[in-house]
Each structure stands twice: as structure tokens, then as C-alpha cells.
Structure 1
């Protein structure tokens, strides 16, 4: 078969016989880790943008939470890569100068008090 005949044969095949399945053909390349991560991300609650509180009100709620050992949800003046507000849920364990120490699932995090936008107690 000459080059010209093979090109004609290929062109006829793609024109009449070949049916592109689009994205279906790529789904086999997703690993189970990828699909579980996608499902986990989709199942997460999207945080609602809460109003900004003044520093005295934030301090009062954080102090009450520390004294009563109740969990708090702290919304920061930041957004994540998906443009959702960053929220930290944990227990107030103390403070250092202008930072508060929050226990999040057993890990300690220091957060600048000035980066806190809103706080609610659970």
C-alpha cells in the first residue's frame, strides 16, 4: 500500500468509523486516591463569609472559650485557593503576645490576633 493510499484509508476511517468518546477515554487514568480526594473536597462544607467583629468582641469570645474549654470557629481575613474564607476550628489553649494558641485536632497553631475576622463558639 502506498503512502497516498494509506492516508486516504486513514482519513476515511476517522471520517466514517471512528467515534471519539471525549472525556470517557481519560477516566481510566484517575487513581482511586484522586477520586476519593475529589469526593472529599466536594463533600466539605463551604464556609459562609461572616461579618467582621471588633477586637474587643473577638477577645471576649476567645477568653470565654478558653475559660470554659469550648470549641471555637475562627474565620481569618484570608481566603484559600478556591476564594473561600479560611476557617480554623479548635480549642483556645493560650496566647503569646499578639498571637493566640489554638489546638486543632491535637496540633497547636499560633494565629495572629490581628488576622482574626470573626469568632463563634460551638
Structure 2
């Protein structure tokens, strides 16, 4: 069957009225599992909210840090800084590797005393306790 310009345009417009476009839904089957996992991870990270912990006085902070150093316990430190979404960053968790007059070293990261909002002794979860 041969169509001229006018009849082809008319046929196209009629087909367009009947056809329901599923937009992105039709492309979901083409995603690989690692792409889907990355998308899900990104959604989880974006929806994660770090709650504000109570502001501690410097004496309280010093007491908890001294206890952690003496007993060789890991600490969890919430910094006073906020990210671009006005939410708190993830806590800095780890063993205290050293300290000086300005701050403490947790792993390879230096945390300044004046940046600490809250600190607590952290309890590691054993692999046998994980579900």
C-alpha cells in the first residue's frame, strides 16, 4: 500500500490517539541488576536522616573521650556541621588513634574539639549478632 504525505500524516495522528505511551516504564526491563542496586542505594542514602543528638558541654565530652581512651573503646562522634540539605553528617565512628591540643584522631580523620556536638562510647556489633 502506498501512502501520500497527507494520508500518512492522517494515519499517524489516528495511531497516536490510540497508542498509550508508557514513558519510562517500558525501559525498566533494560536496566542491569547492578544499575538497579545503585539506584536503590542512592534512594536509600537520600532518604536517610541523621537525627540531632543533644548538645554536650566540653566537660562531658572530655569525660567520655577519656573513658574511651582508658578502656580502649570505640567512639561515635556527631559533628556540629550540616550538609547542603541542612542535615547532620553521618557520625564519625572508630577507635581513638591519638590526640593533640586541637582535636582527636579517629582512624585517619582528625576531629577538632570545637566541632564535636555529641560523643558516646560505641558498641560494635558482632558478626554473629547480625541478621
1:81 CA drift (Å): 4.8
- In structure 1, the residue matched to 2:99 is 95
- In structure 2, the residue matched to 1:22 is 23
More strand, by proportion: 1
Contact 1:99 1:112 in 2 (8 A): yes
Per-residue CA deviation, residues 5-24 of structure 1 (Å, 9 max, x unaligned), is 222111111101x1211331
- In structure 1, the residue matched to 2:127 is none
- In structure 1, the residue matched to 2:128 is none
| Cα-Cα RMSD | 2.4
- CA distance 1:39–1:83, shift in 2 (3 Å): farther
- In structure 2, the residue matched to 1:37 is 38
TM-score, normalisation: structure 1: 0.78
Contact 1:66 1:94 in 2 (8 A): no
Q: Which stretches in structure 2 are left out of the alignment for 5+ residues?
A: 123-131
Q: 3-state SS of the aligned residue for 2:81?
A: strand
- In structure 1, the residue matched to 2:83 is 80
TM-score, normalisation: structure 2: 0.74
Per-residue CA deviation, residues 58-81 of structure 1 (Å, 9 max, x unaligned), is 122112111111121111112335
- In structure 2, the residue matched to 1:4 is 6
- In structure 2, the residue matched to 1:54 is 57
